[in-house]
Amino acid sequence: MTAKAVARAWTDADYKARLINDPHAALAETGVEVPAGITVKVVENTTDTQHLVLPVAPPEAGEVSMEELEKVAGGKKPKSLLG
């Protein structure tokens, strides 16, 4: 459902501004209800600035080897951040 919000932001400048300034309300417009107590921050990548979002680490993250991580990632290593 967030893909719908992203697609709309690409074609609707007013929606994009609302999504950046009030993500909860803008997401609700596309059918995405954000649970109470959750904060949503919207940032925009540009041609010269990319954002890397680190998800919350699972409790066992400290016990995972590099070999195990490569298996989860399909053994592929990205060539660059931009693809």
Q: H or E element: which one contains 24?
A: helix 23-29
pLDDT score recorded for residue 32: 93
Name the domain count of the chain.
1
pLDDT score recorded for residue 64: 67
CA dist 70 to 8, 32, 58, 73, 83, Å? 35, 33, 16, 5, 18
pLDDT score recorded for residue 65: 74
| Domain assignment of residue 38, given as a range | 2-44+51-72
- The answer as to whether 77 is a domain residue is no
CA atoms within 13 A on the CB side of 20: 10
Q: What is the pLDDT along the chain (83 residues), one digit of tens a residue?
A: 689 999 999 999 999 999 999 999 999 999 999 999 999 999 999 999 999 999 888 776 666 677 776 777 665 555 555 55
Cα–Cα distance, 54 to 36 (Å, whole number) = 22
- The answer as to whether 28 is a domain residue is yes
